[in-house]
Amino acid sequence: MIWRKIVVSGGLAAVALTLIALAPAPSTAADERGAEIARGEYLVAIGGCNDCHTPFRPGARGLEPDTSRLLSGHPESVELPPPPTPRDAQWIWSGNATVTAFAGPWGMSIARNLTPDAETGLGAWSEEQFVRAMRTGTHQGVEGGRPILPPMPWQGLARMTDADLAAVWAYLQSIPAIRNAAPQSIPATASR
């Protein structure tokens, strides 16, 4: 009878040890920050941010993203001539060779530097300004400010949750800062 109690006790101890082993380890602030940055990287990737904000260059498979200039916007060293005039009403917009500048009836859009560079990128922005910009479609979220032009899909990004926009911001602040002063976009109304 005593032996059974020991077996039962030993069995309960084994179950208790198994449950302790299966319990998740307490997370740290660094773990949570790392998870937020990873989520932001994922959202930037599926959101296509690199498609316009990372310059492209010729590669083995045609135009490829230049990952050494990740999310740095239109290269400041590449001058933009006036955009071509559409010849056909079915083809009303165009893009440049680095895939960082676009022209259409809205004007000329030039991809901005999204790296955390304090002078030329988002380094001087606050998270609140970034979120407001994504929600309102205006530069730094300033009411009446310069509009964010097509093809930037800010209307879709505006529907992201606060947590997702915070994750995107965390990721953008974690990448290497690249000094690159991309020119300003030019709304059609400014060129008339």
Q: Residue 133: enclosing H or E segment and its boundaries?
A: helix 127-136
Give pLDDT tens digits for 113-128: 999 999 999 999 999 9
Please answer whether residues 19 and 149 qualify as being in contact, where contact means their C-beta atoms are separated by less than 8 angstroms: no
Question: For the whole model, what pTM was predicted?
Answer: 0.81
CB atoms within 10 A of CB 191: 10
Q: Looking at residues 66-71, what average pLDDT do you find?
A: 97
Q: CA 182, CA 98: separation in Å to the nearest integer?
A: 12
pLDDT of residue 29: 84
Residues 6+ apart with CB under 8 A from 90: none
Domain ranges of the chain: 31-78+92-186
What percentage of residues in the chain have a pLDDT greater than 70? 85
Nearest to 169 by CA among 112, 114, 111, 100: 114
pLDDT of residue 105: 92
Give pLDDT tens digits for 3-15: 444 444 555 545 4
Q: CA 98, CA 78: separation in Å to the nearest integer?
A: 9
Please answer whether residues 76 and 181 qualify as being in contact, where contact means their C-beta atoms are separated by less than 8 angstroms: yes
38 — pLDDT class (breaks 50, 70, 90): very high
Give pLDDT tens digits for 77-103: 999 998 888 888 888 999 999 999 999
